[in-house]
Amino acid sequence: MHFRPRYTGLIERYRDRLPIHDDTRIISLGEGNTPLIRLSNIPRVIGKEVDIYVKYEGLNPTGSFKDRGMTMAVTKAVEAGSRAIICASTGNTSAAAAAYAARAGITAFVLIPEGKIAMGKLAQAMMHGSIVLQIRGNFDAGMQLVKDVAEQAPVTIVNSINPFRLQGQKTAAFEIVEELGRAPDYHCLPVGNAGNITAHWIGYCEYSSASGDHVTAACSYCNGHCAYAGGAVVGNRPKMIGYQAAGSAPFMRGAMVDNPETVATAIRIGHPQSWEQAWKVKEESGGWFDECSDEEILAAQKLLAEKEGVFCEPASATSLAGALRDVKNGKIPEGSSIVCTLTGHGLKDPDTAIQQSGGNVHTIDASLDAVRKAILDGMA
């Protein structure tokens, strides 16, 4: 029998590239190591020669990429003696915070916009025993409240303004480079607060830096928490493309948006917290921002589910919606390699999925005849 070492999460795997001490108690649920799936049918559907991969972050323990950041943020909060964490959230951060707090044995307070988070995410926050504060306001209002209250109360903020979050999230870029043997030409992400696009860029820069693994000088993104020292770049780095939902697209407007709206509730954010960093990522990488309508987002979600068997939540499909449009219009040239991050699992938001699926559901008698007829009709 051949034994492989048990996978114990991204902190153990990338310990030498993360701000972790030998005796740090690691709070992990086995996050990271998610599949990079090469799309085999959609390129044919759109009639273009491109290598498109989706990084299926919905397969993290709580169903979104937030787990990568949360393992680091909660590990460091516990190391610092914190007994409680707090976040504002459109749903996924609160689910991850609740789960990792449960694992660590500390309290999580989560502020969510009433009526505007997907049911799966609310279920997670409730089941993991967090204290859920539903506010009559949106994510941006919640984020401001969290910042204000953390100045007066003994709670650690675990939103992506916590620098350890981005440190954990950068590991997604490491995994991609290790699997492809190089960075892709383009990396497409849905953008809300813009923490994740920033984290990926930190990861790609760090990995491609000539200065190696063990550099401790400050990088300009994270005030000394990562190993990227700047300096010469030896490996390739992707152009970073950030796609926003059209009703919540401050990077397209060039200014904050006060009343963001979109079916993709995860990215219903008008005041991104990593505003400056994301503009820098775009400049440095030679990428761009663009927006997708709710219709385009839902169409991409459905296309991916129907043609490739991959189910992601609406916000996640924004990366693919944008990428497919830019492949079709030639902005992304044929022959390119492209990675689209699918940030969250489709099961997070069953309501939207059921509403938009078109419902190929037939109620029939529980008889052999009825089933046989249904099969004949379905194959016709």
Stretch that binds ligand F0G, among 218-226, 245-253, 284-292, 311-319 (CB under 6 A): 311-319
Options 316, 336, 338, 346; binder of ligand F0G; rule CB under 6 A: 316
Residue nearer to ligand F0G on the CB measure, 137 or 215? 137
Q: Does 315 bind ligand F0G (CB under 6 A)?
A: yes
Q: How far is the CB of 136 from ligand F0G (least distance, A)?
A: 17
Residue nearer to ligand F0G on the CB measure, 208 or 343? 343
Q: How far, in Å, CA of 235 to CA of 209, rounded?
A: 7
Q: How far, in Å, CA of 62 to CA of 100, rounded?
A: 9
Options 64, 71, 124, 277; binder of ligand F0G; rule CB under 6 A: 64
Number of residues that bind ligand F0G (CB under 6 A): 23
Q: Does 191 bind ligand F0G (CB under 6 A)?
A: yes
Strands 107-113 and 186-190, sheet pairing: unpaired
Q: Does 167 bind ligand F0G (CB under 6 A)?
A: no
Q: Does 326 bind ligand F0G (CB under 6 A)?
A: no
Q: Does 336 bind ligand F0G (CB under 6 A)?
A: no
Q: Does 124 bind ligand F0G (CB under 6 A)?
A: no
Options 124, 160, 277, 301; binder of ligand F0G; rule CB under 6 A: 160
Q: How far, in Å, CA of 186 to CA of 189, rounded?
A: 10
Residue nearer to ligand F0G on the CB measure, 138 or 196? 196
Stretch that binds ligand F0G, among 263-271, 280-288, 294-302, 372-380 (CB under 6 A): 263-271
Q: How many helices (H) and strands (E) are present in the chain, helices listed first?
A: 15, 10
Q: Does 298 bind ligand F0G (CB under 6 A)?
A: no
Options 194, 240, 249, 324; binder of ligand F0G; rule CB under 6 A: 194
Q: Phi, psi at residue 379, to the nearest 5°? A: -90, -10
Q: Which two tokens stand for residue 2?
A: 């051949």
Q: How far, in Å, CA of 172 to CA of 62, rounded?
A: 16
Q: How far is the CB of 161 from ligand F0G (least distance, A)?
A: 11
Query: 1 to 60, contacts with ligand F0G by CB under 6 A?
Result: none
Q: How far is the CB of 267 from ligand F0G (least distance, A)?
A: 5
Q: How far, in Å, CA of 149 to CA of 138, rounded?
A: 17
Options 60, 62, 89, 130; binder of ligand F0G; rule CB under 6 A: 89
Q: Does 203 bind ligand F0G (CB under 6 A)?
A: no
295: number of CA atoms within 13 Å, CB side? 0
Where does the chain have alpha helices with state H? 10-13, 42-46, 66-79, 92-104, 119-127, 139-150, 163-169, 171-180, 195-208, 250-253, 275-285, 294-308, 314-328, 350-356, 368-379
Question: Which residue, 272, 61, 60, 244, is CA-closest to 159?
Answer: 272
Amino acid at 20: I
Q: How far, in Å, CA of 164 to CA of 206, rounded?
A: 15
Q: How far, in Å, CA of 165 to CA of 92, rounded?
A: 13
What are residue 64's DSSP bridge partners? 344
Residue nearer to ligand F0G on the CB measure, 138 or 193? 193
Radius of gyration for the chain, computed over Cα atoms and rounded to the nearest angstrom = 21
Q: Does 248 bind ligand F0G (CB under 6 A)?
A: no
Instruction: List residues binding ligand F0G (CB under 6 A).
Output: 64, 66, 89-93, 160, 190-196, 266-267, 269, 313, 315-316, 343-344
